[in-house]
Amino acid sequence: MPTLAESQASWPDAIYAHFRRVGIRQVGYVPDAGHSHLIKLCQADPNISDVVLTTEEEGVGLVAGAGLGGQRAALLMQSSGVGNCVNMFSLLRNCGFGCITLVTMRGEFGEFNQWQVPMGAITADVLRLAGFLTYRIDNAEDVDEIVGAGCDMAFDGDLQVAILLSQRLIGRKQWVR
């Protein structure tokens, strides 16, 4: 299993390339170590408004507002943030706002902190119950294909798509610095 630093080599660039390809113009996020490189890429892009959120549910509103204004938006969060969004997700389904969210998983394979486990264990089910098409990526070589397909489904079909980036993919968070 790679360390976090080793795993950040290329797959965030593949996600960012799809953001560029489909014309993502707003990216809302609550930071996660697993998203750190992708966040930097988005911040450096003059065509993307990066919006740091105080809680993930704000990002659901951001996606809807962007959609009303003719822009595409993506959300980056970790699995704990999915739980913060549940009622707000109804906005996406009620109005048919296309949405792609990339969720870095905690509370699973190799987790050192058991406080992450209760939410991590139900994240995929919560997303499915909330109406998201939910895909999971365990291997870096699958990122390009699955994120590409997810972006197309979200914005061609006004669907809600969640892609879970597993803890095996993102690498083990270092407990001792």
Partner 1 sequence: MGSLMLDRREFVRQLLIDRGDLLVVSGLGSATYDVGAAGDHPLNFYLWGAMGGTAMIGLGLALARPDRRVAVLTGDGDMLMGIGSLATIGVKQPKNLAIVVLDNAHYGETGMQASATQAGIDLIAMALACRFRRATAISRIEDAAGIRALLHSGEGPTLINAHISSEDVPRVLPLRDGHAIKRRFIAALDANGRVPAPAP
* Binding interface with partner 1 (CB under 8 A): 20, 22-26, 47-49, 51-55, 57-73, 87-88, 90-91, 94-97
- Closest approach of partner 1 to the CB of residue 146, in Å: 21
Q: In sequence order, what are the beta bridge partners of 108?
A: none
Residue with tokens 């892609």: 163
Distances (CA, A) of 147 to 3, 137, 164, 173: 22, 9, 10, 23
Nearer to partner 1, 41 or 48 (CB): 48
Nearer to partner 1, 34 or 98 (CB): 98
- Closest approach of partner 1 to the CB of residue 95, in Å: 4
Determine the straight-line distance between the first and last CA of the chain, rounded to whole angstroms: 18
Nearer to partner 1, 69 or 118 (CB): 69
- Closest approach of partner 1 to the CB of residue 33, in Å: 21
Report phi then psi at 133, rounded to 5. -75, 125
Q: In sequence order, what are the beta bridge partners of 76?
A: 29, 102
Nearer to partner 1, 75 or 127 (CB): 75
- Closest approach of partner 1 to the CB of residue 62, in Å: 4
Nearest CA among 129, 114, 127 for reference residue 162: 127
- Closest approach of partner 1 to the CB of residue 129, in Å: 17
Nearer to partner 1, 102 or 164 (CB): 102
Q: Is residue 148 classed as helix, strand or coil in its secondary structure? A: helix
